[in-house]
Amino acid sequence: MVYDFDTVVDRRGTNSLKYDFSKERGKGENVLPLWVADMDFQTAPEILKRLEEVVRHGIFGYSEGKEAYFRAVQNWYLEYFGWKVSRSWLVKTPGVVFAIAAAIRAFTKEGDCVMVQQPVYYPFGEVIADNQRVLINNPLKQVNGRYVIDFEDFEEKLTANQVKLFLLCSPHNPVGRVWEEWELRKLGDICLRHGVLVVSDEIHSDFTYRGHRHHVFANLSPEFEEITITCTAPSKTFNLAGLQISNIFIPNPKLKRKFKEAVAATGYSEANLMGLAACQAAYEQGRPWLKQLKEYLEGNLSFVREYLKEHLPEISLVEPEGTYLIWLDFRGLGLTESQREELIVNKAHLWLDSGVMFGAGGEGFERINIACPRATLEKALSQLTEALHKV
């Protein structure tokens, strides 16, 4: 089957956070959104068929995943990443951010320090602050345009601040790094030496570009397994975020028990019926769709790369190794934060994610979602070019 990623699907009027809430979020109603990390593609037809069967049945009672659900998830991670997960490790949650917040409450107390690597997915900082923990930043460094980890700073800050928990973003959102095995091992060894637990957000693991391979952090050694909460979900891969289903793997039974207690304290129990059905269908039948999607995204990335060179040479692409989110360096325009906001929102009529949202080191950057039909991407870049030439 050949899947269609070129058709522009009108999402307005569907209560879409991306398209229907620009006014509520302080933007004009005519902005073209490339911000929030969901895709503008319909999910795989095989998933839609499974969901239609559930809808036709017509009863939406309390539900749980049986053995077939787990086997679908297990086979996915075994085939793609060589990681054999056990059913006893699995805890289902309505989302990865929910799981991160639960882990923070389970494994730290108010006033404890939690490490992140900024610029990083902004809910990391939000859930740390919302739970009255202290954010400690190990900022990523740019070396020849590529982001790398400052390991010396990482270890110094872990010890100086008695950090209890490290939030690893792998692949990294927004800078697009797919961490190499040696980098993950070095991080893991430092965490082991200092008794630091790791929450590894691997929600973007299915999106790596050619020449790059995602390594499941917990799969690198039995010792890493014992200190890691691995957060996964089909939501980014198959555009299912609204169905609220994530699969969290915790091999250490003591950590799993504490995590489940934190989840139970929120009042959450059974997973979403539609999320369960969609996840199982995705992992059982979604491989061909995902393969073609990744090829399309490669084309979108090439389009952006060439477009910037020809029309917007002042804006630099930080070459992504993974994710469908690209990190653009606007600093060459010489604009202040407010001037850049004026250019993007009020003149180009675009809604992007400003780099400042991602913490230290994000100033002067913008995150753009390229998981959309190429015509949408071309329209957005054309609007930016026209606006810039009017400055």
CA-CA-CA-CA dihedral for 217, 221, 227, 228, to nearest 10: 30
pLDDT tens column, 53-91: 999 999 999 999 999 999 999 999 999 999 999 999 999
Nearest alpha carbon to residue 27 among 391, 380, 351, 372: 351
Q: Which two three-digit tokens encode residue 281?
A: 């269908």
Degrees to nearest 5, angle at CA 237 with 184 and 46: 145
The distance of Cα 140 from the centroid of its chain, to the nearest Å, equals 17
List per-residue pLDDT tens for the chain, 391 residues long: 899 999 999 999 999 999 999 999 999 889 999 999 999 999 999 999 999 999 999 999 999 999 999 999 999 999 999 999 999 999 999 999 999 999 999 999 999 999 999 999 999 999 999 999 999 999 999 999 999 999 999 999 999 999 999 999 999 999 999 999 999 999 999 999 999 999 999 999 999 999 999 999 999 999 999 999 999 999 999 999 999 999 999 999 999 999 999 999 999 999 999 999 999 999 999 999 999 999 999 999 999 999 999 999 999 999 999 999 999 999 999 999 999 999 999 999 999 999 999 999 999 999 999 999 999 999 999 999 999 988 5
Is the separation of the CB atoms in 219 and 79 below 8 Å?
no
Is the separation of the CB atoms in 75 and 42 below 8 Å?
no
Q: How far apart are CA 29 and CA 262, in angstroms?
A: 40
Q: The domain 17-44+287-390 is classified under which CATH number: 3.40.228.10, 3.40.718.10, 3.40.50.1820, 3.90.1150.10?
A: 3.90.1150.10
322 to each of 15, 169, 237, 330, how far by Cα in Å?
29, 12, 12, 21
In the chain, list all ranges with CATH 3.40.640.10: 60-284
Backbone angles phi, psi at 246, to 5 degrees: -135, 150
131-145 burial, b for 16+ CB within 10 Å, e for fewer?
bebebbbbbbeeeee
> Strands (DSSP E) along 87-193, which ranges?
90-93, 113-116, 134-137, 141-143, 146-148, 165-169
In the chain, list all ranges with CATH 3.90.1150.10: 17-44+287-390
Domain 60-284 is of which CATH architecture? 3-Layer(aba) Sandwich (3.40)
- The SS3 assignment for 68 reads helix
Beta bridge partners of 350: 32
DSSP letters, 25-66, are TTS-TTPEE--SS--SSPPPHHHHHHHHHHHHH---------
Q: How far apart are CA 250 and CA 234, in angstroms?
A: 18
> Greatest CA span in the chain, whole angstroms?
60
Q: How far apart are CA 137 and CA 323, in angstroms?
A: 22
Backbone angles phi, psi at 141, to 5 degrees: -110, 145
Nearest alpha carbon to residue 74 among 84, 88, 66: 84
pLDDT tens column, 345-378: 999 999 999 999 999 999 999 999 999 999 999 9
Q: Which two three-digit tokens encode residue 163?
A: 């950090």
pLDDT of residue 388: 94
Task: Enter the pTM of the model.
Answer: 0.97
Q: How far apart are CA 131 and CA 138, in angstroms?
A: 20
The distance of Cα 295 from the centroid of its chain, to the nearest Å, equals 19
Q: How far apart are CA 185 and CA 218, in angstroms?
A: 10
